[in-house]
Structure 1
Amino acid sequence: MRVIATTTDPVRLSFLRVLLADAGIDTLVLDAHISAIEGGIGAFPRRLAVATEDERRARAVLTEAGEETA
């Protein structure tokens, strides 16, 4: 797995996941359950990861959409 984006914004995270899903790329959100510990204040970023073999294509999809990658 490769981390391609990091964000504290749940809306952006959802948007990135939809972009990649539309391109047929499966994603995994790391650190998603930290919100239970932090109380939902958004202090800890969530990491968006893809399979190693999908990394190049995922970065290209996000770059084409004007999104930064990690």
Structure 2
Amino acid sequence: MKELVRANNPALISFVESLLKELDINYFVADQAISAAEGSIGMFPKRILVSEDHFDKARNLLIDAGLEDELRPLNPGFWP
């Protein structure tokens, strides 16, 4: 699985989920439990992960939807 998006914004997470569902792209929302437990501090964002074989398709979908600024970098280096 590769990280596609990391965000604290529940509306953004929901929108990305709906886009992925629409194209039958399997995904996993990581860190839901810790994100809910910490409340609204925003220290623990949710992460949307997709399989490597659907990663490019999912990435292009979000670019087409105007969400390119929300995408994780392709080569993050030391960026967490």
TM-score with structure 1 setting the length: 0.91
What is the alpha-carbon distance in structure 1 between the residues aligned to residue 59 and residue 21 of structure 2? 13
**1:12-38 deviation digits (Å, cap 9, x = unpaired):** 1010010011011011001010022x1
Tell me by how many angstroms 1:56 deviates. Answer: 0.3
Question: What are the ranges of 5 or more consecutive residues in structure 2 without an aligned counterpart?
Answer: 73-80
Which residue number in structure 1 is paired with residue 67 of structure 2?
Answer: 67
Tell me by how many angstroms 1:55 deviates. Answer: 0.2
Choose between structure 1 and 2 for higher RCO, CA contacts under 8 A separated by at least 6 residues. Answer: 1
Which residue number in structure 2 is paired with residue 31 of structure 1?
Answer: 31
Cα root mean square deviation, aligned: 0.9
Instruction: Provide runs of 4+ in structure 1 moved above 2 Å.
Output: none
Matched to 2:57, the amino acid is R
What is the alpha-carbon distance in structure 1 between the residues aligned to residue 8 and residue 43 of structure 2? 7
**SS of residue matched to 1:3:** strand
TM-score with structure 2 setting the length: 0.80
Matches within 5 A, 1:1-70: 1-34=1-34, 35-36=36-37, 38=38, 40-41=39-40, 42-68=42-68, 69-70=71-72
Question: What are the ranges of 5 or more consecutive residues in structure 1 without an aligned counterpart?
Answer: none
